[in-house]
Structure 1
Amino acid sequence: MIKLKKVKWRYWIALIIAIIGLILTTCTYFATAIYSKDDVAVITDHTIKDTLVQKNRDVYNNHDETRKQILHLKILSGKYRGRTFIAPNIYYPSQMVTQKYRAGQRVFVSIRSGDPAIKNPKRDWVLVLALTVTIVLMVLVAGRESLGLVVSMALSWLLFYLVIICDVKLNGSYIILLFGLADVVFSFFSLLIVQGLNRKMLATWLATLLGVFVSFALCYLIMHVTGESEIKYETGDYATQDPRGLFLAQTLLGILGAVMDEATDIISSLYELVQTKKDLTAKQMIVSGRTMGQEIMGPLINVLVLIFMSEALPMTIIYLRDNNSLSSAFGFTLSLGVTQSVISAIGIVLTVVFATGCSLLFLEDKKWKARADK
C-alpha cells in the first residue's frame, strides 16, 4: 500500500507539473509585451503568396531556387501595435541561411521608418514546452530525486553563464585554467546536490577529477610531442578569441560529461556491492569494477561518436556535395570533433581504473568499522 501511494503521488505531481507547464507554454506563446528589443507580429495570411524568382545551379550541378513570399504582418506589441504591414521574404527551399514562414506563425520584427524587417520566428514557447516534458519525465522516472536533478541542472547553467562572463571579461586569457576550475566546481556541486556530502560522493568526485585531468594531460602531451599536426583550429566557429584555447576548453567540458557519468555508475554499484556482501575482497572488487567498466565503456564511447557525427553531418554533406574530396571534407568538418571524441574516449577508459581504485576506500572503511566493533 505504501509503495502504491508513492507511485500515485509521483503521477499526481507529474500531472500538476504538466498542467503548469502547459499554462506557461500558452502564456509564452501569446506573450507580446515582455520583449524590449523587437516587436512581435503574427502572419495573418490564410494562404501565403509564394512565387519563384529564379532557379539556381552552381558549378557542381547543385540545384536550388530563390523564392519570394508576400506576408501580411499584424503587429502585436510596441508603438505600431494593431497596424498591418506587408513584408517580402526571400528564401531558398534548402533553408540553410533563410527561413520559410507559415500562415498564422508568430515572428519577431524590427520596424525602422515604418518598414518592417522579419528577424526570426518566435520559438521561445517551444523551449518552455520542451523543459516541461523533460521535468515531467524526470519526475515519473526519478521521483523525489528529480528535485535534486532539476536544481543541479539549473545551477550548472548558472555556473556556466558565470564562467562565460569571466572568459569575456578576461578576453580569453587563462582560458584553460578558467575552464579547468569550472570542471572542478561543476562536478562538485552536481554530485553534492544529487548524492549529498558523503564518502560515496567524495570518491565519485575524486575519480571524476582524475579521469578528466589525467586524460587531458596525456592527450595534451601527445599533441605537444606531435606538434599538433593536422589539427585545423581555424575550421572551428571561433571569431573573437584564440581558437586553440577555445578548442581545449571545449575538450575539458566534453571529457567531464562522459567521465562523471561513468564514475557515478561504477562507484554507486560498487558501493552497494560493499554494503551487501560481507566477505568481499579487494581482488573481487577490482574484478567487479573492471567488468562493469567493460560493459559501460562501449555504449558511452558510441554515444559520444554518434553525438559528434550528428552535429557534423550537415556540413559534411555540404562539403561532399560541392565535390570536395573525403580527406578535405574530413579536415574541415570532422577533424576537431574526432580529436575531442578520442580524448573523451581515453578519459572513459582511464576512469574505469580510477573509479575502481577510489571504490577500494569503501572496503577499507568497512574493515576499520569491523575492527572498531570488535
Structure 2
Amino acid sequence: MTKNLLNKYLFKLDANIGKQPNKKTVLIILILIVVSLASLFFISTNENLYGNPIAKITSITENESKEENSTGKIEPMKNQKIEAIIMNGTFKGNSIELNNTTSFSQVNDLDLKVNDEIFISLQSNDNNEITSAKILDLKRDKNVIYMINIFIALILLVGGIKGFKSLVSVVVNILIVFSIIGLFSKGYDLAILSIIGSILFIIASLFIVSGKNKKTASAIIGTLAGTLTSMLIAGIVIKLNNWSGIHFEEMEFLTHPPEKIFFIELIIGTLGGIMDIAISISSAIDELYDKNPNIDSKSIIKSAREIGQDIMGTMSNTLVFAYLSGSMPIILLLLRNGLPITYIININLSLEFMRALIGSIGIVLSIPITIFTSIAILKKHKIGEA
C-alpha cells in the first residue's frame, strides 16, 4: 500500500513538473516583488517625511563601567560617544556628537550600533548653530519592513496561492480593527463593536482563505458555536464565584469597567484558536468524503476525533504560552524585586491563566461541534446514519 501511494505521488509530481504557472500567479508574484522593492526604497529615503530630526550614526567609541542599582546589585554599563550625520530638517548634512549610556538590562536605554538611525532633539542659538543634541529614540521602521517582507516571502513560498489569500485576510482584518477603533472613538459601545468585529473576522478569514463552500460554512458554524459556548460557561462560572480570584490590577489605568474589557479580550483571544481547530476538522472531513463518498459516519467521527485529539493538546499549549509570554517582562521585574512567585501568579497572572483556560475550553468544545456540523453539512444523510 505504501509503495502504491509513493508511486501515485511520484506520478502526480512528474505530471506537474512540466506545467507552466498561470498568468494570474505570475502577475501576483510580480506585483508583490515590485511592492517589496518599492517599500525597501521608501524606507531608505523617507527621513524627510518625519517632523523630528533624524541622525545616522557614523562611528561609536565605547568604554565600559559598572554601577550599583537600588537593590545593591552591580550592573555593567557602557558609555558611548557617538558621531552622526543629520538626515533631515534645517541642519541636514551637519555632523554632531552625541553621548549615550546603556545598561546590561537595557530597560530604559538603547545599545546603539553604527548605521543605526535615531530620533534626536536639537537646540540652536540665534546664529542658527547647534548648541546641544539629545538622543530620543531609535528609528525602527526599516527593521519592521524587513520583517514584513521576509514574512510575505516565506508565506508565499510555503503557502502559494493559499498563502496569498492568507495575506489578503490579514489586511482585511486589520482594516476591520481600525474601523472598530474609529467607531469606538466616536462613542459606539466597545462590546457590541467587538462582537460584530469578531464575527466579521471569522467570516472574512475563512471565506478568503478557504473559499465559498460547505467546508467553510461548517468551520464558521463550529467557530461561532464553540466561542459562544465557552463564553457562556465562563460567564456563568465567573458570575457564580462573583469574580473571586480574578485580579484587575493591571487594568487600573483603563477608563472603562475592567470586567467588560476582560470579556472582550476573552472573545477575541478564544476565537483565533477555535477557528484554527474548526477549519482543520472541517477540511479533514471534507477530504475524507472526497476520497470516499460512501464512507459511513462512524468512521468519519472516529477519524475526526483522532485529528481533534492530536490538535487539542498543542493548541491549548499554544494559548498558554502566548498569554504567558506577554507577561514575561513584568514577571522578571517582580522576581528581581524579591516578590514571591505565589504572589506573582495570584495577582499578576490570574488573568492570563483565565484567558488560557477559557480558550482551551472553547478549543475542546469546538471539536465535537465542528465534527457533527461538518458531517451534517458535507453529507446529505443525517448524522449517525450509514
TM-score by length of 1: 0.87
Structure 1 residue 219, shift from structure 2 partner: 0.5
Aligned equivalent of 1:107: 118
* TM-superposition CA deviations, 1:73-125 (whole Å, max 9, x none): 31111122112222332432210122121222111223354443322212212
Structure 1 residue 337, shift from structure 2 partner: 1.0
* TM-superposition CA deviations, 1:283-320 (whole Å, max 9, x none): 33332322221111011111112222332223212211
On the 8 A contact 2:323/2:352 being kept in 1, the answer is yes
* CA separation of 1:147 and 1:67: change in aligned 2, threshold 3 A: closer
Aligned equivalent of 2:68: 56
Distance in 2 (CA, whole Å) between partners of 1:78 and 1:242 is 44
Identity of aligned residues (%): 24
Structure 1 residue 212, shift from structure 2 partner: 1.1
Distance in 2 (CA, whole Å) between partners of 1:328 and 1:6 is 62
Aligned equivalent of 2:211: 196
The 10-residue stretch of structure 1 (285-294 or 127-136) with the greater mean CA deviation from structure 2: 285-294
Aligned equivalent of 2:276: 261
Aligned equivalent of 2:17: 4
Aligned equivalent of 1:175: 190
* CA separation of 1:360 and 1:12: change in aligned 2, threshold 3 A: closer
On the 8 A contact 2:207/2:216 being kept in 1, the answer is yes
On the 8 A contact 2:121/2:136 being kept in 1, the answer is yes
The one-letter code sitting in structure 2 at the alignment partner of 1:191 is L
1:272-291 residue pairs with structure 2 within 5 A? 272-291=287-306
The answer to whether residue 166 in structure 2 is matched with residue 149 in structure 1 is: yes
Structure 1 residue 234, shift from structure 2 partner: 1.9
The answer to whether residue 149 in structure 2 is matched with residue 132 in structure 1 is: yes
* CA separation of 1:43 and 1:253: change in aligned 2, threshold 3 A: same
On the 8 A contact 2:55/2:118 being kept in 1, the answer is yes
Aligned equivalent of 1:71: 82
Distance in 2 (CA, whole Å) between partners of 1:29 and 1:364 is 52
The DSSP-based 3-state class of the residue aligned with 2:99 is strand
- Aligned pair count reads 362
Aligned equivalent of 1:163: 180
On the 8 A contact 2:53/2:89 being kept in 1, the answer is yes
Structure 1 residue 335, shift from structure 2 partner: 1.7
* TM-superposition CA deviations, 1:209-233 (whole Å, max 9, x none): 1111210121021111111112111
Bigger RCO of structures 1 and 2 (CA < 8 A, at least 6 apart): 1
Distance in 2 (CA, whole Å) between partners of 1:237 and 1:261 is 33
Q: 2:58 is matched with which residue: 27, 40, 44?
A: 44
The DSSP-based 3-state class of the residue aligned with 1:229 is coil
The 10-residue stretch of structure 1 (184-193 or 71-80) with the greater mean CA deviation from structure 2: 71-80
The one-letter code sitting in structure 2 at the alignment partner of 1:255 is T
The one-letter code sitting in structure 2 at the alignment partner of 1:4 is I
Structure 1 residue 358, shift from structure 2 partner: 0.8
* CA separation of 1:133 and 1:293: change in aligned 2, threshold 3 A: same
On the 8 A contact 1:25/1:125 being kept in 2, the answer is no
1:1-374 residue pairs with structure 2 within 5 A? 2-5=15-18, 20=34, 23-24=37-38, 26-45=40-59, 47-50=60-63, 52=65, 55-59=67-71, 61-65=72-76, 67-113=78-124, 114=130, 115-170=132-187, 174-236=189-251, 238-365=253-380
Structure 1 residue 350, shift from structure 2 partner: 0.5
On the 8 A contact 1:28/1:125 being kept in 2, the answer is no
* Superposed CA RMSD: 2.8
